[in-house]
Amino acid sequence: MKITVAGVGYVGLSLAVLLAQNHKVTAITTTQSKAEKLNQFFSPIQDEEIERFFQEAREGKRNLDLTTTVDKEKAYSDTDLIIIATPTNYDDVGNFFDTTAVEDAIEWSLKCSPDTMIVIKSTIPVGYTESVRAKYGVDNILFSPEFLRESKALYDNLHPSRIIVGADENQYEVASMFAELLLEGARTEELRAGSSAQDIPVLITPLTEAEAIKLFANTYLAVRVAYFNELDTYAMIKGLDSSKIIDGVCMDPRIGAHYNNPSFGYGGYCLPKDTKQLLANYRDVPQNMIEAVVASNTTRKRFIAEQIISQKPSVVGVYRLTMKSNSDNFRASAIQDVMKNILSKNVPIVIYEPTLENGSSFMGCKVVNDLERFKEMSDVTIANRYDEKVLGDVEAKVFSRDLYRRD
């Protein structure tokens, strides 16, 4: 089968690699340099499994039928399936997802291959798929939510917790076919590794319910993060040991010990925008909790900044802008809002972030990637996720709420 994947972010690239094990996949990017890099099997994003697959492909140990191009007309023509995984950034002013890139991909698809099935994998508002079907007068657009972690996207595609496809009642067969493609990719790696097949649940739902599943699932995760962060805030103010409370609470099997590690707030590509989009979808529906989880995240970041400022540092050092360890992405990371609050009090900040150029500026703050100099300059070093190997020698002046030292 010939498959076209629009977008080479962590969602699109992980899907392209998964499917290229068994099918001819063409991925679309907007940058020629990125296309050239991918065509040599070098990943532009940090993802352990993608990097492993690509290294094996370069060494001739793994067959991946994957080509990346900037030629949209060629990519969208003569293909059996089109997957749209372009970014949908959240517009805080208008309170909506920017779906411009999704609609551009739809228009190219309908222009070059009008009868080919399109599956949207981008995160979109509830009701969006029905609206674009009506806008373009077609019914060959499905939606399938993704449940992937940054830096572990391919791993999560190889070991999915569930596969969900949104389609009309009369499209059960084609929706099942798409689900089977994803299952096939996971099973291919299982057979290669000599492991037994996973029992992966598949759910085919109406389109709008599939969209709602995505936003409600991510908002529930945000609720958990916010809950344990507020528990940690309470313990800090009352002089209690957060970890002891969390350990006791999480011994209840109904609660469990996941998503319970305090942080500076939830951030990253999905949770902030998905919670805000769900809240926007609630504009005509009574609610308290959805609004509260968005507000809670703001409160937490402000509280963290106040704790740092209260130490009266001359210079605050920020160790990494990324959300978690083993990641190179710091888009919408919580630490950036903490920085804004600190800067509003005119406290200078220096940043250690190896993905940025030494001596450059980020948010008006100098990047110092000489680690020893960075540590010397910082009166207080803040780290959303603590690295013992790097920060152990200055632990006494490190501020972190990373109690369990894991993502």
Residues marked as catalytic = 270
Report the alpha-carbon distance of residue 179 to residue 163 in Å, rounded.
Answer: 7
- Three-state DSSP state, 205: strand
Report the alpha-carbon distance of residue 341 to residue 381 in Å, rounded.
Answer: 15
Report the alpha-carbon distance of residue 168 to residue 263 in Å, rounded.
Answer: 41
| Residue spans of alpha helices (H) in 253-349 | 271-281, 289-309, 334-343
- Asked if residues 250 and 404 have their Cβ atoms less than 8 Å apart, the reply is no
Give, to the nearest 10 degrees, the angle between helix 242-250 and helix 207-238.
140
268: left (phi over 0), alpha (psi -120 to 50) or beta: left
Strand ordering across the sheet containing 365-367 = 361-362, 365-367, 349-352, 316-319, 380-382, 398-399
Burial of 288 (C-beta count, 10 Å sphere; 0-12/13-18/19+): exposed
What's the token pair of residue 252? 């209840």
Positive or negative, the Cα torsion across 87, 91, 92, 96?
A: negative
Report the alpha-carbon distance of residue 169 to residue 369 in Å, rounded.
Answer: 56
Residue where the block lists tokens 């990371």: 333
28: left (phi over 0), alpha (psi -120 to 50) or beta: beta
Sequence-distant (≥ 6) Cβ neighbours of residue 326 within 8 angstroms:
46, 48, 151, 407
292 — phi, psi (to 5°)?
A: -65, -35
What's the token pair of residue 119? 């599956």
